[in-house]
Amino acid sequence: MKKFELHWQILVALVLAILFGIFLKDYIGYVSWMGTIFLRALKMIIIPLILSSIISGITNLGNAENIGRLGLKTIVYYISTSIFAILTGLVLVNIFKPGVGANLNFQEIVELDIESNSLSDTLIKIIPDNIFSVLSNNGQMLSVIFFAMLFGFFITRVGDKHKQMLTDFFNAVFEVMMKLTMFIIKFTPFGIFGLVAEKVAQQDDLIALMQSMGMYMAVVILALSIHAFITLPLLARFIGKVNPRKHFAAMRTALLTAFSTSSSSATLPLTIQSVEDNAGVSNKISSFTLPLGATINMDGTALYECVAVIFIAQAYGYDLSFGQQVVVVVTALLASIGAAGIPMAGLVMITIILTAVGLPLEGVGLILAVDRILDMFRTTVNVWSDSCGAAIIATSEGEVLKVKA
Ligand code: ASP
């Protein structure tokens, strides 16, 4: 009998979860623990996985020239796709103007516990002042990556004996982490069932939300779809020589997990596994690009930030000048880089952009109610873009992929 593949198991779990959330709301406590445990298990492995994967990725690249070339390609891909995404959002939000005449009465009374991080602060904090304190914080991934890259790089700079020993050691740790990852991945259908059932059960005012915020949500989702189904596939096809359909199929499990968890970091283990085993990207490329991508390459988040800020401006009746819109584009890019790969991180970063263009921070309250739902879509796009990037970069390095066109 043909094996019932994981993504089908997940799809069945999703459907059952939605039904459970709607019809058996009162019994949600009996199943939500599965989601909690699954998320905890994924979060448990993020730090050791990122650390070992980046260090082994960099040492396997071997020399500064390789690291530099790959690093440059990766950054160019990440920045340019994020800018494409932002521009898509910018155009659509200016065409549809969902904020003009938006029903501000809907505003929930919310305690906004959001501090406005300044941009320079976010950037400075990339350099950890204590490596162990960032290692114990899933929200400080950028600092962990920064340290891991330096550590990996300097392994390539020490004498042969130590270099060999440390390279072998981190390769071994990474292999163990991947085995552990595969084990946790087996439970994905149960985890997703618990997570989604709980989320559905909590959304009792979904219809009301859709009515008041429908236009805004539609613009965000439409723009995300254009980026995910047109822009990225074109890049994958013509620059990466990859068949986008096959690549999408290869990534199904990871994309469904991104959708259900709203966290690129929590999805990272599955992203690595899908990109390597299904798409055929080498470990050398994936272990370098994907952990980096999960933290700094967030096309969906960048697009969302841009649409959200302009929506808020429209709702308050501000007309943003061309110059201010340019500021929105640039800060949306930086905010998406700075956002951690965890649920609702993008929402917090919006305060940076609001400050930059002089809009009231309370504006965040307007979009809070639907943020969780949109988070699912933007996180999926974030992970999809990471995976396309890995494939494009692998092809450019001469690899022949399983998903090649
Ligand atoms: N949840 C998103 C992610 O993990 C970040 C965001 O809130 O936009 O990719």
Per-residue pLDDT reduced to its tens digit, 150-189: 999 999 999 999 999 999 999 999 889 888 988 988 898 9
- Asked whether the predicted pLDDT for residue 100 surpasses 50, the reply is yes
Asked whether the predicted pLDDT for residue 116 surpasses 80, the reply is: no
User: Residue 205: is its pLDDT beyond 50?
Assistant: yes
Could you tell me if the CB of 262 is within 6 A of ligand 1?
A: yes
pLDDT at residue 7 in the model = 80
User: Is 186 part of any domain?
Assistant: yes
Residue with token string 């921070």: 361
Q: Is 378 touching ligand 1 by the criterion CB < 6 Å? A: yes
DSSP string over 237-294: HHTT-B-HHHHHHHTHHHHHHHHHH--HHHHHHHHHHIIIIIT---HHHHHHHHHHHH
Interior/surface letters 47-66, b for 16+ CB within 10 angstroms, e for the rest: bebbbbbbbbbbbbbeeeeb
Average pLDDT score, the chain:
88
- pLDDT digits 0-9 by tens, 31-56: 999 999 998 998 898 889 889 988 98
Whether 103 is covered by a domain: the verdict is: yes
Number of CB atoms found within 10 A of residue 382's CB: 33
Which of the listed residues 264, 353, 370, 384 should we mutate to test ligand 1's pocket, taking the one with most ligand atoms within 8 A of CB? 264
**Tokens matching residue 391:** 């494939």
Q: Comparing C-alpha atoms, which of 117, 116, 192, 179 is closest to residue 376?
A: 192
Question: How far is the centre of ligand 1, averaged over its atoms, from the C-alpha of 16 (Å)?
Answer: 25
Which ligand 1 atom lies nearest to the CA of residue 345?
7
| Ligand 1 centroid from CA 263, angstroms | 5
**To test the ligand 1 pocket, which listed residue (78, 307, 344) has its Cβ within 8 A of the most ligand atoms?**
344
Centre of ligand 1 to C-alpha 297, Å, is 10
344 CB within 6 A, ligand 1: yes
Q: Give the Å distance between the CA of 17 and the centre of ligand 1.
A: 22
Nearest Cα neighbor of 36 from 187, 252, 251 is: 187
Residue indicated by tokens 């300097």: 154
Is ligand 1 within 6 A of the CB of residue 263? yes
- Residue 133 in any domain: the answer is yes
> Is the beta carbon of 298 within 6 A of some atom in ligand 1?
yes
| Burial of residue 282 (number of CB atoms within 10 Å: 0-12, 13-18, 19+) | middle
Q: Give the whole-angstrom CA distance, residue 131 versus residue 143.
A: 8
Q: What is the pLDDT of residue 30?
A: 94
The CATH number of the domain holding residue 350 is 1.10.3860
User: Would you say residue 142 lies in a domain?
Assistant: yes
CB 361 within 8 A of CB 245: no
Task: State whether the beta carbon of 295 lies less than 6 angstroms from ligand 1.
Answer: no
pLDDT in the model for residue 1? 44
Residue 110: its pLDDT value, please? 44
Q: Name beta bridge partners: 328.
A: none
Helix, strand and coil percent figures for the chain, each rounded to 5: 80, 0, 20
**In terms of residue numbers, what domain contains 70?**
6-396
Instruction: State how far the Cα of 216 lies from the Cα of 98, in Å rounded to an integer.
Output: 5
* Contact (Cβ atoms closer than 8 angstroms) between residue 92 and residue 312: no
SS3 state at 397:
coil
Nearest CA to ligand 1 atom 8: 346
Q: Which of 118-122, 160-164, 374-378 has the lowest mean pLDDT?
A: 118-122
Q: Whose CA is nearest to atom 1 of ligand 1?
A: 343
The pLDDT of residue 83 is: 97
In a domain, residue 402? The reply is: no
Higher pLDDT, 355 or 89: 89
Neighbours of 239 (CB within 10 A): 15
261 within ligand 1 shell (Cβ under 6 A): no
pLDDT in tens, 278-331: 999 999 899 889 998 998 899 999 999 999 999 999 988 888 888 889 999 999
Query: Which of 86, 224, 301 most suits a substitution to test ligand 1, by most atoms within 8 Å of the C-beta?
Result: 301
Q: What are the DSSP calls for 112-172, one per residue? A: -------HHHHHHTTS-S-HHHHHT-GGGHHHHHHHHHHHHHHHTTS-HHHHHHHHHHHHH
Q: What is the pLDDT of residues 69-83, one digit of tens each?
A: 999 999 999 999 999
- What length does the chain have? 405
Q: How far is the CA of 64 from the centre of ligand 1 (A)?
A: 32
Alpha-carbon distance 132 to 121, whole Å?
Answer: 20
Q: Is residue 179 in a domain? A: yes
End-to-end Cα, the chain, rounded Å:
30
pLDDT digits (tens, 9 = 90+) for 249-268: 999 999 999 999 999 999 99
Smallest CA-to-CA distance from 300 within 335, 254, 351 is with: 335
DSSP 302-323: HHHHHHHHHHHHHHTT----HH
* Site of tokens 């613009």: 219
- Report which ligand 1 atom has the smallest distance to the Cα of 347: 7
In a domain, 1, yes or no: no
The CA 58 to ligand 1 mean position distance, Å, reads: 26
CB of 299 within 6 A of ligand 1: the answer is no
Per the structure, the count of domains in the chain is 1
| Closest approach atom of ligand 1 to CA 300 | 8
Q: How far apart are CA 183 and CA 386, in angstroms?
A: 23
**Cα 78 versus chain centre, distance:** 12
Residue 96 domain flag: yes
Ligand 1 atom with minimal separation from the 264 CA: 4
373 phi and psi, to 5 degrees? -70, -45
pTM, to two decimals: 0.86
CA distance 276 to 106: 46
Please indicate whether residue 375, judged by its CB atom, sits closer than 6 Å to ligand 1: yes
